[in-house]
Amino acid sequence: MTSKTLFEPYVLGSLTLSNRIVMAPLTRNRAGVGFVPGDLAAQYYAQRASAGLIISEATQVSEQGQGYQDTPGIYTQAQIDGWRRVTGAVHDKGGRIFLQLWHVGRVSHVDLQPGGQPPVAPSAIRAQTKTFVNNTFVDVSEPRALELGEIPGIIADFRRGAANAIAAGFDGVEVHGANGYLLDQFAKDGVNTRTDAYGGSIENRARLMLEVTAAVVDEVGASRTGVRISPVSPANGVSATDPQAQFDYIVTKLDELGIAYLHVVEGATGGARDVAPFDFKALRDKFKNTYIANNGYNVDLATTRLREGLADLFAFGRPFIANPDLVQRLKIGAPLANLNPATLYGGGSAGYTDYPTLAEADRA
């Protein structure tokens, strides 16, 4: 045991973070025309710049990669320019920010897809889940299976997204390999029934996530690359018969790529930590760089895990929404404000940039 605390600086690759608390990626559906993040987004992220590291909301790498209304992209010049204002505002406050690179795969709707086409997936299996489109929650559309010849284009989209993110001033990028989106769909056998090089064996199912990560590393460098996984999360209808073997393999290979961090959703995303038996320590032991732990942490649990050497950084998601000064509140043991679920997804400043800090609340 050591006496490390969450509130001390931490060196992540070439960056020094001011503390060990990470703002997890949070989808807020407030991008403007052209899926460009606007001034409110810059204000929202800057308000949360006291996090040791911010990971942006999931950001699609292509039109095809979009699954919900008004989520931002990172494939046009206007999007790069919009994000540059966000990164500038965060850096001006002394914060650090990575962009999360996203392709939703089958979790989409024809109304969001180029030419009204079906969403793409490893296999033509519809997700039992809903998406938010045309201002309402609807069932996702029936997907089609990606052809083998389309896979290089998907990898190229992630590569371009990574390059664009660096051009927009991000400190690095996180590959979204979690929560039942495209890369997690390929990794999990309940959803991937392919018989080519991207399905069947553990190695084949891991291939897309690893090839995408290798391309991103090649583009922006391993020290600016992280990957998020959720081995046992049933999010968006995925399932795996042997997640331990699947993710032991994936993490071994991610370690070989030398990426800066591994970000693990431990349990069901936003739900029970013990949804299924899984040895997360086995992943930690296979990965030598930074391990970011996520899901239902509080200061006590995070500090215990830190001192046991089970994680280096701790990502908090929903608590950051209503507590822009979450780090300070956790540090002094102040009460946390509750978020308003009605303003989570979509809308304007209400429930986005109007949650006060403790000091602002005291003055009011």
Nearer to ligand 8OZ, 68 or 198 (CB): 68
66 is an interface residue for ligand 8OZ by CB under 6 A: no
Nearer to ligand 8OZ, 58 or 306 (CB): 58
> CB of 173: closest distance to ligand 8OZ in angstroms?
15
| Strand duo 21-23 + 144-145: pairing | unpaired
Q: Which of residues 77-116 bind ligand 8OZ (CB under 6 A)?
A: none
Nearer to ligand 8OZ, 58 or 229 (CB): 58
> CB of 85: closest distance to ligand 8OZ in angstroms?
22
> Distance between CA atoms of 166 and 105, rounded to whole angstroms?
24
DSSP letters of 79-126? HHHHHHHHHHHHHHTT--EEEEEE--TTS--GGGSGGGPPPEESSS--
Element (H, E) at 139: strand 136-139
Site string for ligand 8OZ, 247-276 (x = CB under 6 A): ----------------------x-------
Identify the residue among 18, 27, 47, 108 touching ligand 8OZ (CB under 6 A): 27
> CB of 92: closest distance to ligand 8OZ in angstroms?
27
> CB of 234: closest distance to ligand 8OZ in angstroms?
12
CA atoms within 13 A on the CB side of 89: 19
Q: Which of residues 179-198 bind ligand 8OZ (CB under 6 A)?
A: 179
| Strand duo 15-17 + 10-12: pairing | antiparallel
Active-site entry in 44, 181, 291, 345 = 181
Beta-carbon contacts of 76 under 8 Å, excluding residues fewer than 6 positions away, are 34, 35, 36
Q: Which of residues 284-343 bind ligand 8OZ (CB under 6 A)?
A: none
- Closest to 65 (Cα-Cα) out of 138, 160, 172, 139: 160
Q: How far is CA 94 from CA 54, 90, 102, 171, in A?
A: 11, 7, 26, 12
Nearer to ligand 8OZ, 126 or 318 (CB): 318
**The one-letter amino acid at 305:** R
Q: Which of residues 341-360 bind ligand 8OZ (CB under 6 A)?
A: none
69 is an interface residue for ligand 8OZ by CB under 6 A: no
68 is an interface residue for ligand 8OZ by CB under 6 A: yes
Q: Phi and psi dihedrals of 65, rounded to 5?
A: -80, 0
Q: How far is CA 145 from CA 84, 196, 236, 279, 362, in A?
A: 35, 12, 17, 32, 55
> What is the size of the binding site for ligand 8OZ (CB under 6 A)?
6
**The one-letter amino acid at 313:** L
58 is an interface residue for ligand 8OZ by CB under 6 A: yes
225 is an interface residue for ligand 8OZ by CB under 6 A: no
181 is annotated as an active-site residue: yes
Residues that bind ligand 8OZ (CB under 6 A): 27, 58, 68, 179, 235, 269
Positions annotated as catalytic residues are 181
